[in-house]
Amino acid sequence: MSDKDDAETMRGRLRSERVNSLFSEDELIEDYYDQPAANDSSCWNDYGLSTLQSSGTVSSRSSSMHSGSTEGLDAPTQLLPIIKAGWLDKNPPQGSYIYQKRWVKLDADYLRYFDSEKDTYSKRFIPVTSIARVASIGDQKFEVITNNRTFAFRAESDADRNEWMRTLQQMVDERKFKGLNRISLFQPPTGALDSVDKCGLLELRGFKNKLYVVVAGDKVFLYKNAEDYRQGIGITYIEMNVGNVKDVDRRGFDLTTPYRIFSFSADSDQEKDEWVEAMQQSIAEALSNSEVAEKIWSVEANRFCADCGSLNPDWASVNLCVVICKRCAGEHRGLGPSITKVRSLKMDRKVWTEELIELFCQVGNCVANQFWAANVPPSEAIHVASGSQERRRFLIAKYKEGKYRRYHPLFGNQEELNKALCATVTTSDLAETQSLVFCGAEVSCFSGDPDFPNPIALAEQAGQKLQMEFLLHNKNSEIPRVEAGSSEEKHYSVILPSVTHNGFLFKTPSMAKLVHERKSREEFSRRWCTLNDSIFSYYENDRNAVPNGEIKMEEIVCLVNNPPDTHGFESTFEVYIESERLYLFGLENPEAIRKWVKSIAKSFIHPRADELLSHDFERIGRLQYKGGLNLQRAKEGWFALTQSVLYAFLEDSDKEEAVHLKKLQELSVQGDSLVLVERRRTLYIQGERKLDFLGWVAAIQKAAGSSGDTLSEQQLTESDIPVIVDRCIDYITQCGLTSEGIYRKSGQNSKTTSLLEMLRKDARRVRLKEGEHQVDDVSNTLKRFFRDLGDGLFTKEFCQDWLKAAAIENEEEKIGQYRQLLSSLPVVNRATVKALINHLYRVQYFSEMNQMNTHNLAIVFGPTLFQTDGKDYKAGRVVEDLISRYVVIFSVDEQEMRKQQDEITAIIKMRIAGSSSGTQQAGDFICTVYLEEKKTEAEQHVKIPATMTAEELTFEILERRKIDTKEKEYWSCFEVNEREEAERPLHYSEKVLPILHGLGTDSYLVVKKQLSMENMLIYLASRVSDSKHGMMKFREERNLLGLGLSTGFHDRYFILNNSCLRLYKEVRSLKQRMPAVENSHRPEKEWPVKNLKVYLGIKKKLRPPSCWGFTVFYENEKHEKQQWYLCCDTQMELREWFASFLYVQNGGNVWPSESSKVRASRTQQDSRLGNISLIPLRGNENEMRNSVAAFAADPLTLLRNV
């Protein structure tokens, strides 16, 4: 071997070691063999690679660049606490047996390995989110398994191996459990980055192959190639708070850090400019991010997590004034915002005002822990390595129960606490304020001074800005209290407010049965009553010292305020206690009774439910209930009934919910439960005790029933239409649209009478069935209902105005007058007029079949609705106008119109299908819906009634599979188009049936979580303007126009406002000033958004430039179809565009506001439809074809001339 060879080998080895420090083995092998030695760049030698070399230019340059900002930050990697680190052997990926020693570090986000423990930049990082599992492979070895790759390590001992595996698995499980790995729908399954500012290939000096470089937030990530990026597995990342970017030449630029210089080279000078700009932005972001953190960390105690002691915590609870680490922050979040409001020091920049930062410097971890952690037994404390459960247990005890706090001497004395708070907030003693507030002083208590009525106003007046800041963040904070886990202890551990009240009351002996009969005055005896220390006592007279009897507040389960004159006294109230006794009290003085009821209610209602006290309730108390999907365990809820609204505080929610009893879909007693079915949930109220439960049942049933003969006193639907009207219209729509002389022919009088009587009694329970009920009986019932209506549909007050309006000659003026009158109707009347006219509008569409044109309908309905004798046509005139100008008068938009047409089409199809299969029943379609993915095990066959919404379908599937939905899980129904490789989440209110009819053979429905929904909602809530602008890549599907051209993707500028999507070709000129665009330039294309169907995804055959794309279908008024594609650069962009489309298409209503843990119960339907023959829509194709063949002619043609 010659000297030269030796030298070559030597040089190769040297280089391999260096390259080694940044790259993993597979790259190493490539680079080692392929790279000519001469290319070995000087930069590697200059600054060293694997260790921090203080030689230098670099570190001195860098520290002068950001002096101050790097102070206190030893190495950027220390920003995230290291959970575990140590030496492990790693096997090279290409089958070699030689293990290599690696320094391996695990933090909350990444598993990384390095050449040595001194290295700053890793050879490889694997996001914790992309780790699927960890497996042992014997001989102290274990594997870290991601979706696409496996990394094998060998530990020094079995114990060490087990420790690594346990820690890793725990991290992975925690991530999964908390859903922190929100891998979005748009994202590849292994978790590439969430928000990318710039990405692409760059040369990095010293390497043969280009690297895939990603600038995201305050970091720059290096990946071997785009594929690795998509899989989430990278080489290293650079924290930009220590970075500096410098232009070198036409295409080259340097990213300098104290540890290394990265010399990049772009493809063009324009590309280079963009990269430099992106990296400079990233540095700015990193610096501004650490600004807040560094100010707060300037206080020593704030540099360690207030709860577990981790170094450099970058999260905070802004109301508790503590700085906490990321892992503790996750658990804090679980306690809910009424206990702790979690914010990031780095990301939530807006929240960090000067005052708040100062507050954290003055209070912060030191003062906060002197209070919160005054008595922590060492056995209960947590530390850096504590697991998620331990943390949760500790944080609940610390902040929710206040177990370790230092009690204020005034604790328990509400009045004194409040007084002390009012005094303290005018001083600078923040520690005292903290102690007072978290020992029960009320932040909004009345100060006694009307000019400065509460502590916040007092602090403001005294110029105590920090006091104000603290109070404002704690305005709605929940005060800690011990809450035992088991329900036996629960009632007795609550600290109830202490209320004092006394006076004379009249009382009957206690009873074990509900009071149905009127109690005369003689049955009551006068007693002196006191309420003190949570005990209600009654005495023979006010001089007696020993009470005749007592009621403990915690025994009370229900309190009823009777209507006036129920008994011999003007005002009476009932108290129900746990041991099934009922006490009745009365007095002639309503005001005094009101005070008693208030005082008693206040002293037995759980403090978390005290909002209930603000209602003028007839009945208040606690009940067991079951709800949501999990019906295993009954929970405790607090309820108050006020007229027809039942207010509730349920166990797993911290806000009041209202159940509108008149709008229930069902109300029934089943066994010992009262079942309340709402559109989005079923609530089972349980009869734990008989006495108070029977009282509740009777009261709720009464409140839910129709109470009079005006419209608003009827049982109502969600959309404020009387259930009677809704049931009849629905039936006629399904069964009578084509029936000859509908509404003109009168049915059988006796049948009409009994049907109306049934409906009036409880419309909700009446199911109109074809075969059982005749179309003409139902139509006659509807007319009779309107004819007999107490105040009439148009109200007595305005009736004449409507008739006068009909005589106005000027058409425009007349319409204006109708619209005006319509707007002055009560809500229920207005909704009902619209529903009815909409229905008649549909009926006249079929006049060729049913002979009922607008004029004929007006002749029938005019006198009915206006309750006239029908001798003149005035009333008919109004009805005729309303039907013929329906679209204008009711401002019906095109989308609504189209939806109705689709529904009618579906109904007609069903009817034709029904009759062709030899049955009179319309029936429901059966459809195959998949859960989460398309595979046989995930198939569900669901009956789809005409009225079923996407939300109802989703709940039905979840319920069948017994899937418990958690908070922040956005389950939706998706329409998946396999041919286009695209999918569309259905809006929750969309009717499923018309969509089913439109599905091609390569489409199906699947119910799954909409992973990006939360981010979309956050984006929508935080954006400043309703419109969205930006570049996207655009491609048209020309084939549909017969040109057969493939045009490829091109940059276009888009503006989406609340009605249109506009496309502009002139990119460069527009990029400068966007707001002017809309006025100064004509768009190249423009589409009404409501006519677009936007699908996520683009078929791969078209080679979209990124995976963040849409497929868009457009259909114009002439039913001409177009199809085109849009592609975004980043996932974030895609999400924002999609969110904006959803927002515009659904009038801002993207997700139901009510909590979605609820469900729509469809169990009733199953029994109702038990014997109806069902027509499979999907599944058996032949059967389907046969049944559908009958309506080959497009029924839409009927509706075309709208």
* Residue ranges that bind Zn ion, judged by CB under 5 A: 305, 307-308, 310, 325, 328
Nearer CB in complex with Zn ion: 308/417: 308
Which residues neighbour 796 within 8 Å (Cβ) at sequence distance 6 or greater?
none
Q: Are strands 535-539 and 525-532 parallel, antiparallel or unpaired?
A: antiparallel
Say how far apart CA 897 and CA 1201 lie, in whole Å: 12
Nearer CB in complex with Zn ion: 308/700: 308
Cβ contact 315:372 at 8 Å: no
Rounded to whole angstroms, what are the CA distances from 1145 to 911, 998, 1054, 1089? Answer: 31, 19, 17, 7
Smallest distance from the beta carbon of 127 to Zn ion, in angstroms? 21
Nearer CB in complex with Zn ion: 119/307: 307
Smallest distance from the beta carbon of 332 to Zn ion, in angstroms? 9
Residue 1122, SS3 per DSSP: strand
Smallest distance from the beta carbon of 310 to Zn ion, in angstroms? 5
Q: Are strands 645-649 and 657-660 parallel, antiparallel or unpaired?
A: antiparallel
Smallest distance from the beta carbon of 371 to Zn ion, in angstroms? 18
| Sheet strand arrangement including 252-256 | 236-239, 219-223, 211-216, 198-204, 261-265, 252-256, 244-247
Per DSSP, helices labelled H in 656-748 are 690-704, 723-735
Q: How many CB atoms lie within 10 A of CB 1153?
A: 6
Say how far apart CA 963 and CA 904 lie, in whole Å: 34
Tally of CA atoms within 13 A in the half-sphere of 1189 that contains its CB = 8
Smallest distance from the beta carbon of 315 to Zn ion, in angstroms? 9
Nearer CB in complex with Zn ion: 305/1061: 305
Smallest distance from the beta carbon of 179 to Zn ion, in angstroms? 20
Nearer CB in complex with Zn ion: 278/320: 320
The total number of residues written for the chain in this structure = 1202
Nearer CB in complex with Zn ion: 170/940: 170
Q: Are strands 261-265 and 252-256 parallel, antiparallel or unpaired?
A: antiparallel
Smallest distance from the beta carbon of 505 to Zn ion, in angstroms? 55
Smallest distance from the beta carbon of 333 to Zn ion, in angstroms? 13
Smallest distance from the beta carbon of 402 to Zn ion, in angstroms? 19
Structure tokens at 569: 């006294």
Instruction: Quote the crossing angle between the two packed helices 796-805 and 874-884, to the nearest 10°.
Output: 80
Hey, which residues does 574 pair with through a beta bridge?
A: 560, 584
Smallest distance from the beta carbon of 1184 to Zn ion, in angstroms? 59
Smallest distance from the beta carbon of 81 to Zn ion, in angstroms? 8
Nearer CB in complex with Zn ion: 307/314: 307
Cβ contact 134:144 at 8 Å: yes
Say how far apart CA 454 and CA 522 lie, in whole Å: 48
Nearer CB in complex with Zn ion: 310/433: 310
Cβ contact 231:150 at 8 Å: no
Structure tokens at 461: 């007046």
Q: Are strands 925-931 and 1175-1176 parallel, antiparallel or unpaired?
A: parallel
Smallest distance from the beta carbon of 437 to Zn ion, in angstroms? 23
The CA radius of gyration of the chain, in Å to the nearest whole number, is 36
Nearer CB in complex with Zn ion: 376/1063: 376
Nearer CB in complex with Zn ion: 166/383: 383
Nearer CB in complex with Zn ion: 198/343: 343
Rounded to whole angstroms, what are the CA distances from 810 to 543, 814, 874, 882, 892? Answer: 82, 6, 16, 15, 22
Output the CA angle 1087-1093-1099, nearest 5 degrees.
110
- Going by the DSSP 8-state scheme, the letter that residue 974 receives in this structure is E
Nearer CB in complex with Zn ion: 317/433: 317
Smallest distance from the beta carbon of 390 to Zn ion, in angstroms? 11
Q: How many CB atoms lie within 10 A of CB 235?
A: 22
Smallest distance from the beta carbon of 674 to Zn ion, in angstroms? 46
Place of tokens 């010292």: 545
Nearer CB in complex with Zn ion: 305/778: 305
What DSSP element (H or E) covers 1114?
strand 1108-1115
Smallest distance from the beta carbon of 308 to Zn ion, in angstroms? 3
What DSSP string describes 1124-1189?
EEEEESSHHHHHHHHHHHHHHHTTT--S-SS-TT-----HHHHHHTTT---EESSS-HHHHHHHHG
Say how far apart CA 1029 and CA 1090 lie, in whole Å: 18
Instruction: Quote the crossing angle between the two packed helices 354-362 and 269-297, to the nearest 10°.
Output: 40
Say how far apart CA 289 and CA 285 lie, in whole Å: 6
Burial (0-12, 13-18, 19+ Cβ within 10 Å), 286: buried
Which residues neighbour 779 within 8 Å (Cβ) at sequence distance 6 or greater?
728, 732, 736, 742, 743, 745, 747
Nearer CB in complex with Zn ion: 328/755: 328
Nearer CB in complex with Zn ion: 285/314: 314
Nearer CB in complex with Zn ion: 385/1076: 385
Structure tokens at 798: 């305005």
Smallest distance from the beta carbon of 382 to Zn ion, in angstroms? 7
Hey, which residues does 982 pair with through a beta bridge?
A: 977
Nearer CB in complex with Zn ion: 319/571: 319
Say how far apart CA 1038 and CA 1045 lie, in whole Å: 6
Smallest distance from the beta carbon of 366 to Zn ion, in angstroms? 16
Nearer CB in complex with Zn ion: 310/1012: 310
Phi and psi at 317, nearest 5°, equal: -105, 115
Smallest distance from the beta carbon of 398 to Zn ion, in angstroms? 12
